[in-house]
Amino acid sequence: MYKIVIDTNVLLSALFSNRGKSYKLIELLGIKGKDGVKFNVISVPLPLEFEEVLLRPKNREKYDYFSHEEIRLIISDIVSVSHRAKLHFLWRPFLKDSFDDKVLETAVNGQAQAIITYNTKNFAGVKKHFDIEILTPAELFDKGVLP
């Protein structure tokens, strides 16, 4: 099973538009999760970050068609269809952004093969040190590894 960790910017992009690869990825996550196929990995810090970022007023203006409660339900649904990783090993600081370190720690502890993000440059050195691919949603689909 090819396991991934989804960065917040991918989820944010999926809320902005239902036409892109990020939306397709989140939709696939839900569909496969209902079938019992879990390929996303999550840890406690990630949904907290999702909620904090997705509920920021500047972001809410861009997708005001979702209520606060609906945003929380989306996050809850993602958690429910994901593998839960316990953070036994912390790698901070490895990256410049502390949240990116949380994504990395989730990927390492959850034995994910890839981190899915639009900020691929923020994860410089991860492939070399941890053998975890850094991919955009489009690159992930191009690989053809999803269930």
Counting as low any pLDDT under 50, the low residues of the chain are: none
pLDDT of residue 144: 94
pLDDT of residue 91: 67
pLDDT of residue 124: 94
CATH number at residue 120: 3.40.50.1010
Collect all residues with Cβ–Cβ distance below 8 Å to 20 and sequence separation of at least 6.
Answer: 13, 14, 137
Q: What is the residue range of 120's domain? A: 4-143
Does the reported pTM lie above 0.75? yes
Q: Taking the CB of residue 126, how many other CB atoms lie within 10 A of it? A: 23
Query: Judging by DSSP bridges, how do beta strands 4-6 and 114-116 pair with one another?
Result: parallel
Nearest Cα to Cα of residue 32 among 69, 75, 1, 70: 1
Structure tokens at 109: 């502890």
d(CA 146, CA 111): 16
| Domains in the chain, number | 1
Instruction: Give percent of the chain above pLDDT 70.
Output: 99
